[in-house]
Amino acid sequence: MNGIPLELGLVLSAVLFVLGLIGVMVRRNLIMILMSLEVMLNATGLAFIVAGSRWGQADGQIMFLLILTLAAAEVGVGLGLALQIFHRFQTLDADSVNEMQG
Residues that bind another protein (CB under 8 A): 21, 24-28, 33, 94-95, 98-100, 102
User: For residue 54, with 0-12 CB atoms within 10 Å meaning exposed, 13-18 middle and 19 or more buried, which class applies?
Assistant: middle
Closest CB 79 distance from another protein, rounded Å:
16
Looking at 1-102, list the stretches that DSSP marks H as alpha helix, in order from N- to C-terminal side.
6-26, 30-55, 59-89
Closest CB 47 distance from another protein, rounded Å:
16
C-beta closer to another protein: residue 39 or 49: 39
C-beta closer to another protein: residue 40 or 71: 40
101 CB-near residues (< 8 Å, 6+ apart): none
Closest CB 12 distance from another protein, rounded Å:
20
